[in-house]
Structures are given as structure tokens and as C-alpha cells.
């Protein structure tokens, strides 16, 4: 299974670089006029996914779901990167998971503001630029602080790793760094004690995720109602109305991909260990789905927006 995971991580990273680079070119140079400033937020997503794929290629993480733990493990023996650098890259990689939640939430809010004609979508001041571009970074930074302060390495987790992961992979504690919850600590007598620090950190993370999901649902609903009104009553051209509908459908499809591949499974994998419900195969599968995400996520933009789809089809026909 490890060979399949490594193949998926490396091949998906290369595909992600190619697809997202092409998409950035399409957005910058082939966007319809009606897309406005939103194209820069679309580029923002593509750049995010390029960085995410690059960090994933550097880390090539293992996901261990066993007993009371779910860990994201980074190893020095994969690319020969020093342990101190792997720690930083692994933390950044996991922080981008939180950043993606904030980023898609803001995109739904932005789409709604565009539909109702709010002046907030005009990036004519530093404060507006900060709201749309810096908020996800701040959100991701806070996510990383929570991970480091509450879900970092400890002796009880090291013991579980020695009994499972290290023996299987023939490595030592000096060759890995990891982040993730272990809901129980074990003393020298084998007595388990509930880890309230981990529970507190996970509670904050789950609250952040829940707020993001609730906000997405609310603004997706409001946006669909707004598009309905726009199509019936607006004085805008038919082309503009069609584009707004395509952009909203694209965004729904785009946010569904990480929800299905990452956010949904992660919710189970992060909370299951509290009941000692863990599945190693689920952790292996999650490793592959995380690698596939930056490859699939740009596709709705490329094929659901008519202008981009036409250019891609022409490129394919030329190659054929």
C-alpha cells in the first residue's frame, strides 16, 4: 500500500502543477469581461493548490489511524530533508487544510456580494484587499497554532508509534515528526487518562470547521436565490447572467471536491479515535484522497466556465 501512496503523491503533484498552471493562464488571459475582480480570487485558489501540492510532495505524509490516535506523519528518509525543516513544512501542510475552509467560505460570501451588487467586491482599498486575501492566511495561521500547542508529539503517542508504525517501516523517532490527536495518555502501569488538552484543541478546530460549513451553506443558499432573481429581473445582459450562474455552479462543485475527499473523511478520522474507533485502511485511503484533491479541484473551473472550456477543447483538438 505504501508504494501506491507514494506513486499517488508524486504523480498527483506533477498533474496538479500542470493543470493549475494552465488554469492560471486561462484565468488571467482568457477570462470574460463580466468576471471582474473575481478572477484574482480564482487565481488565489490555483496558487494555493500549487503550494499545497508542492508541500505535499515535500512531506509525502503518512496518515496513521490506530486505536486512540490519528496522526499526520512526516519522515526524513523520503527526500532526505532535515527534521527541523520537515517539522515546519508538515505544520504548513496541515495549516493549509484549515486555510482551505476559510478560503472557500470567503468565495461564497464574495459571490453573494457580486450577485446583490455590494460595493465590498470592489477592491479599491487596502482594507477590502486584506479581507479577501489575508483572512484565509490568518485563519490558517491560527489553525497551525492550535495544532502545535495541543496536538504535538508526546510520550504516549511515541509509545504507540514504536509498537506499530516504527516497526513496520523500520525507522526511529529521530526520523519523524507528527501532528494529530491522541485522546488518551498512558502511565507506566498502563492506565489510560483522558487528554483534555487534545480534546480542547480538537473542540476549537471542530468549531472552526462547523462555522465555516454553516457559513458556506447559508451563503450558497442566498446566492442561488439571488441568481434566480438576477435571471428573472436584472437589466444585465444574458451573457452576464449566464456567467454568474456558471460561476456559482462552479464554486459549488469546487467546494464539494475537498468536502468529499478531505473535510468529510477527516472529521471521522479525527473524532473516531476518541472512542477507540480507528481504521488503518481508512488512513491509507485518506493519504491518496488528499493527494488527488489539488488535481481534481481545478477541473470544475476549467470545464464549467464556457470561455475556459472552449479554449481547453481547442488545445485538446490541436494535440489530437
**pTM of the predicted structure, to 2 decimals:** 0.89
Q: How many domains does the chain have?
A: 1
Residue 236 structural domain: 1-319
Position 234 scores a pLDDT of 66
Q: How far apart are CA 246 and CA 253, in angstroms?
A: 11
What distance in Å separates the CA atoms of residue 73 and residue 157, rounded to the nearest whole number?
12
Would you write out the chain's pLDDT as a tens digit for each of its 320 residues? 778 889 999 999 999 999 999 999 999 999 988 787 888 889 999 999 999 999 999 999 999 998 889 999 999 988 888 999 999 999 999 899 889 888 888 888 888 888 888 887 776 667 777 888 899 999 999 999 999 999 999 989 999 999 889 988 889 999 999 999 999 988 777 788 999 999 999 999 989 988 988 998 899 899 888 888 877 776 777 788 788 889 888 988 988 998 888 888 888 888 888 888 877 888 888 999 999 999 999 999 999 999 899 999 998 888 87
What is the Cα–Cα distance from 187 to 35, expressed in whole angstroms?
59
3-state secondary structure of 234: coil
Cell of 226: 439571488
pLDDT of residue 57: 92
Interatomic CA distance for residues 69 and 152, integer angstroms: 12
For residue 184, give the 3-state DSSP assignment: strand
According to the model, what pLDDT value does residue 86 have? 92
Name the nearest CA neighbour of 134 among 179, 172, 99: 99
| pLDDT computed for residue 124 by the predictor | 64
Give the start-end residues of each E strand in the chain. 62-66, 69-75, 176-179, 184-186, 192-194
Residue 303 confidence (pLDDT): 92
| Phi (first) and psi of residue 64, to 5 degrees | -105, 115
DSSP class of 133: I
d(CA 123, CA 131): 10
Classify residue 180 as left (phi > 0), alpha (psi -120 to 50) or beta: left
Helix (H, G, I), strand (E, B) or coil at 61: coil
Name the grid cell of 237.
Answer: 445582459
Residue 148, number of CB atoms within 10 A of its CB: 15
Phi, psi of 223 (to 5 degrees): -70, -40
As a whole number of angstroms, the distance between CA 217 and CA 223 comes to 10
The CATH number given to whatever domain includes residue 160 is 1.20.1070.10
pLDDT at 128: 76
Amino acid at each position: 500500500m505504501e508504494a501506491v501512496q507514494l506513486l499517488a503523491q508524486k504523480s498527483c503533484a506533477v498533474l496538479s502543477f500542470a493543470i493549475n498552471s494552465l488554469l492560471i493562464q486561462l484565468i488571467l488571459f482568457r477570462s470574460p469581461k463580466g468576471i471582474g475582480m473575481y478572477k484574482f480570487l480564482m487565481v488565489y485558489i490555483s496558487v494555493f493548490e500549487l503550494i499545497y501540492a508542492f508541500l505535499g510532495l515535500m512531506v509525502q505524509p503518512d496518515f496513521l489511524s490506530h486505536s486512540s490516535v490519528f496522526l499526520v506523519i512526516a519522515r526524513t528518509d523520503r527526500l532526505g530533508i532535515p527534521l527541523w525543516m520537515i517539522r515546519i513544512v508538515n505544520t504548513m501542510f496541515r495549516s493549509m487544510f484549515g486555510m482551505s475552509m476559510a478560503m472557500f467560505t470567503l468565495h461564497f460570501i464574495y459571490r453573494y456580494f457580486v450577485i446583490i451588487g455590494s460595493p465590498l467586491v470592489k477592491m479599491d482599498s487596502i482594507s477590502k484587499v486584506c479581507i479577501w486575501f489575508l483572512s484565509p492566511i490568518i485563519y490558517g495561521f491560527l489553525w497551525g497554532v492550535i495544532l502545535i500547542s495541543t496536538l504535538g508529539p508526546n510520550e504516549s503517542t511515541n509509545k504507540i508509534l514504536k509498537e506499530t508504525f516504527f516497526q513496520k517501516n523500520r525507522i526511529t523517532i529521530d526520523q519523524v515528526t507528527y501532528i494529530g490527536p491522541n485522546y488518551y495518555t498512558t502511565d507506566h502501569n498502563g492506565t489510560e487518562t483522558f487528554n483534555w488538552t487534545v480534546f480542547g484543541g480538537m473542540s476549537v478546530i471542530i468549531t472552526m470547521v462547523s462555522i465555516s460549513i454553516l457559513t458556506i451553506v447559508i451563503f450558497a443558499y442566498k446566492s442561488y436565490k439571488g441568481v434566480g432573481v438576477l435571471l428573472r429581473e436584472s437589466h444585465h445582459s444574458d451573457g452576464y447572467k449566464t456567467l454568474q450562474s456558471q460561476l456559482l455552479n462552479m464554486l459549488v462543485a469546487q467546494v464539494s471536491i475537498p468536502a468529499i475527499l478531505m473535510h468529510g473523511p477527516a472529521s471521522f478520522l479525527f473524532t473516531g479515535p476518541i472512542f477507540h474507533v480507528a481504521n488503518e485502511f481508512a488512513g491509507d485511503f485518506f493519504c491518496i484522497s488528499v493527494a488527488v484533491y489539488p488535481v481534481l479541484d481545478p477541473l470544475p473551473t476549467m470545464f464549467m466556465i464556457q470561455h475556459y472550456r472552449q479554449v481547453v477543447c481547442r488545445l485538446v483538438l490541436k494535440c489530437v
